[in-house]
Amino acid sequence: MLQIWGRANSINVQKVMWTVGELGLEHQRHDAGGKAGGLDTPEFTAMNPHRTIPVIDDDGVAVWESAAIMRYLAAKYGAGGLWPEDPAARAAADQWAEWSHSLLQPVFLRVFQAVARTPPPKQNVQRVLTMVKRLGALYQRLDAHLENRPFVAGDQLTIGDIPAGATLYRYYAMDLPGRPDLPNLQAWHERLREREAYRQHVEVRW
Ligand SMILES: N[C@@H](CCC(=O)N[C@@H](CS)C(=O)NCC(=O)O)C(=O)O
């Protein structure tokens, strides 16, 4: 059975768990990282020399890096669904996944650290405003793209929706100053919230 290591409140683990939930895969998740620790054991290091979560073991195949895990699972178990079979359709999804992992998520995490992980008296208001503005400008591009499609690659949920979609629960749950009005992004978030796997794995208090 598919084994997954990682604490439920890590956004990188959430992307993997949401993928697992959408695919309906039988699995066991082991708490690891954060307070649960367990990343320095010889067994864990043998699976992932970088000692980060998430990590999976699928019938003897160990994979680390959340983006690589999502692609592995979607390609193996979600062909034609999360993982479009036509290369052009797949690229339409995958380019948004890549953009989310490499450009959106780092800015999002800076906002998250500055607000949710910093006690209010220690927060740097000016820095928060600057970072929220930068994050809003990125979400604005996604908002424009979602103007005339329900999901990033068209009519159905794909690998392209998951990494950016996973940031939205926290984005809207945090008390952020100066969030731009992004109706298409908000409507997309509502569509994602209709999915059981999103509610179960992403809507987790940090
Ligand atoms: N680029 C990596 C980042 C992995 C990463 O930094 N994971 C964090 C949790 S989000 C981690 O392992 N932190 C150590 C810990 O939780 O103890 C990925 O996407 O998997």
| Ligand 1 atom with least separation from CA of 39 | 17
Residues 124 and 184 in one domain: yes
Residue 204 host element (H or E)? none
Quote the tokens at residue 49: 């020399």
Which stretches of the chain score pLDDT less than 50? none
Does residue 105's CB lie within 6 angstroms of at least one atom of ligand 1? no
Residues 64 and 96 in one domain: no
For residue 124, give the amino acid letter: N
CATH of the domain at 60: 3.40.30.10
| Enclosing domain of residue 174 | 87-196
Residues 91 and 186 in one domain: yes
Residue nearest to atom 12 of ligand 1 (CA): 52
pLDDT of 44 reads: 98
Q: 77, 109, 136 — which closes off a domain? A: 77
Residue 5 host element (H or E)? strand 2-5
Residue 78's CB is within 10 A of a number of other CB atoms, namely 21
Residue nearest to atom 13 of ligand 1 (CA): 52
Quote the tokens at residue 81: 């669904």
Q: Number of structural domains, the chain?
A: 2
112-160 confidence digits (pLDDT tens): 999 999 999 999 999 999 999 999 999 999 999 999 999 999 999 999 9
pTM of the complete model: 0.97
Residues 60 and 121 in one domain: no
